[in-house]
A and B are shown apart, each in its own frame.
Chain A
Amino acid sequence: MAMIRPLSAPGPDLPVPVSRLSARSRNPAVRGLQRMTTAIRSNRKATWGFVLLVLFCLVSAFPWVLAHDDPSAMIYPVSLGPSAHHLLGTTGLGQDMFAQLIWGARPVLLIAFGVGLGATGIAVLIGVAAAYLGGWWDAVLNLVVDVLLVIPLFPLLIIIAGYLHSAGTLVMIAVITFTGWSYTARQLRSQALSLRNRDFLEAARVRGERRLYIVVVEIIPTMTSLIVASFLTNALYAVLFSTSLQFIGLGDPTVVSWGTMLRSAENNEAFQTGQALWIIAPGLCIVGLGAAFALLNYAFDEIGNPALRPLRRARVKRSG
């Protein structure tokens, strides 16, 4: 006799949907953040990325916890291999490599967050303004964004940094911010445009709210997840661009950073002297930090577009 599994009641082998959000806030920004927290916890890529990012932030905030040596002091014998005293050995200039690595995180993260916040801020301003003001303003701003998008960023950065001869952390942040905001501005403008005609905005307009109020209180909080994604994108490019600039010698040589470490390594013939670690270690850190931003960003893509997530296979084999 064939038995039918009752289809109208969930059986014990069906996953019970768990609602993680017991209290859903009315504020769209808080809702957005709640969604993101859920998302980070449930998506493996996002969790990894987030953990990695937090790790880097902690290291850069409290470098003295892990590294006991002064990173710039050239007091040790040169080119030692890894040992108990020097976890990664010493550089060709007699500095403790591990200390350099740990202390070197700080400028990179400063630049990443500085540019992330700055560029995203400008992008939100311009993107939303263009979408909301419309008309002539939109056309002009759009044109500016498009032109800036086409002009190759890295060569421009090289030229500006070249004129300046060497760019300290603050200058680096400023330069990368002012050249790099256009990409995310474009994305934010598209989303703002699509939101413009939504009903809740119409309701606000009818209520008689001022334009600025509508933009700040209604539109921007709804765009929270895209704004966070923009931040991640800008931070990622800041890391890659700044370390590249430092590598070719346009960064501040007095600051110990992963990029300047690599420059030092190259200048001091790290290849020939067999100091692979000098090259590999800072590079891996850059990849690690970049991967943290990129994984979080990609996970957000997947969250926004569920079709991109890895396909689930049926976990329960059906029986007749």
Chain B
Amino acid sequence: MRFALRRLGFFLLTLWAALTLNFVLPRLMPGNPAVAMIAKFKGGVSPQALKALETQFGVQTHQSLISQYGSYVGNMATGKFGVSLSQYPASVGHIVMDAIPWTLGLVGITTIFAFLLGTGIGILGAWRRGGLLDSIMPPTFVITSVIPYFWLGLVLILIFGVQLKWLPYFFSYDYTLTPSFSLSFIGNVIEHAILPAVTLLITTIGTWILTMRNTMITTLAEDYVRMARAKGLPSRRIMLDYAARNAILPNLTGFAMSLGFVLGGAILIEYVFNYQGVGYWLLAAVDNEDYPLMQALFLLITVAVLVAILISDIATAVLDPRTRDAG
């Protein structure tokens, strides 16, 4: 219980840090960039929205810094993220809600799949040592994990989209179609998701494979694995029940932490494929100086990482009886 409370405290602290960063950054930059932004949008938005922006970014207000901060945090906490400037009059919240399912689908499903597949390959790779595979695997996957996400996307587009013309590579679905829950539309969505998903898979799987293989190798040297052999247990049971179940524990926390990187990569992939998810909108917001949208998306991504950490904490508690008692 104490453990859970401490974690919760940590999450709140991180959230607060992200909020404060959002608040402080524009004010720190030389010549508050918000000034330029507001000047740019002056004609296009309603006066109330303008006033709200000024308050949010501390331009021309007579409020003290503290009270600006207070009202800012208050707004964020109650979900008043304001209106999007580039997509005026759509509200930030609206755009964000629209974007989430796309990113969740693409990145969420692909990452889970990459994690499971990568972990499986890592387990087998550690189990079967001493072959050609054992020497080839590490350098190969070390190299795949440094391939820039966006570049691989470009290359895949080049090969499969432009040259071979097998797969589409623009947007999340054929935009001449109207979205519906029909099978053909869903099929179309999947078709559009293949290249981005493969890109994400190839670039991220290397890390899962290598970390799992390394922890597995260390675990296989443990006494309890030798004991399992001594007991005459079948090999598969030793591999899974004794080795893998212990080896995966440190990787679960690692998984949650690297989700931050994966999301970063996903931003680039969505950009390259024009896939209308959270990352795409973040970059569009940056391009258009749409700061309210930018800030909201940054907070969203931070929350996503925190949720992932929470889930991995729960999973670790379920799988490792030692943490349950420590808390």
Residues of chain A at the chain B interface (Cβ within 8 Å): 45, 143, 146-147, 149-156, 158-165, 236, 240, 243-244, 247-250, 262, 265-266, 271-272, 276, 279-280, 283, 286-287, 290-291, 293-295, 298, 301-302, 305, 307-308, 310-311, 313
Contacts and interface: CB of A to CB of B under 8 A. Distances in A.
A151 B11 CA distance: 11
Contact of A294 (B143, B221, B302): B143
A240 B257 CA distance: 18
Given A150-B305, A151-B302, A155-B282, A262 B151 contact: yes
Contact of B154 (A146, A283, A291): A283
A236 B210 CA distance: 17
B158 A271 contact: yes
Interface string B186-219: 0000000000000000000000001000100110
B217 A308 contact: yes
Find the residue from A45, A159, A298, A301 having the highest chain B CB count within 10 A. Answer: A159
B286 interface: yes
Find the residue from A150, A151, A243, A293 having the highest chain B CB count within 10 A. Answer: A150
B25 interface: yes
A240 B151 CA distance: 11
Interface stretch (B47-55, B73-81, B105-113, B263-271): B263-271
B13 interface: yes
Interface of B: 10, 13-14, 17-18, 21-22, 25-26, 29, 33, 129-130, 134-135, 138-139, 142-143, 145-151, 154-155, 157-158, 161-162, 210, 214, 217-218, 221, 257, 260-261, 263-265, 267-268, 271-272, 282-283, 286-287, 289, 294-295, 297-298, 301-302, 305-306, 309
Contact of B17 (A45, A147, A280, A301): A147
Nearest to B134: A310
Contact of A298 (B138, B151, B217): B138
A125 to B, nearest CB: 21
18 contacts: A45-B138, A146-B10, A153-B264, A155-B282, A158-B267, A158-B282, A159-B25, A160-B25, A164-B29, A244-B264, A262-B150, A279-B154, A294-B142, A294-B143, A294-B146, A295-B143, A305-B214, A311-B130
B145 A294 contact: yes
B261 A307 contact: no
A248 B25 contact: no
Contacts of A290: 146-148
A163 B33 contact: yes
A279 B306 CA distance: 36
B220 to A, nearest CB: 8
Contact of A250 (B161, B218, B263, B286): B286
A305 B138 CA distance: 14
B130 A310 contact: yes
**Does more than half of chain A's interface fall in helix, strand or loop, or is it mixed?**
helix
B286 A240 contact: no
A301 B146 contact: no
Contacts of A249: 287
B29 A244 contact: no
Closest 6 CB pairs of A and B: A154-B264, A290-B146, A162-B286, A311-B130, A283-B151, A152-B260
A166 B276 CA distance: 24
B302 A152 contact: yes
Given A147-B13, A247-B268, A307 B221 contact: yes
A236 B146 contact: yes
Contacts of B138: 45, 298, 302, 308
Contacts of B146: 236, 240, 287, 290-291, 293-294
Find the residue from B25, B129, B142, B214 having the highest chain A CB count within 10 A. Answer: B142
Nearest to B33: A163
Contacts of B14: 147, 150-151
A45 to B, nearest CB: 6
B300 to A, nearest CB: 9
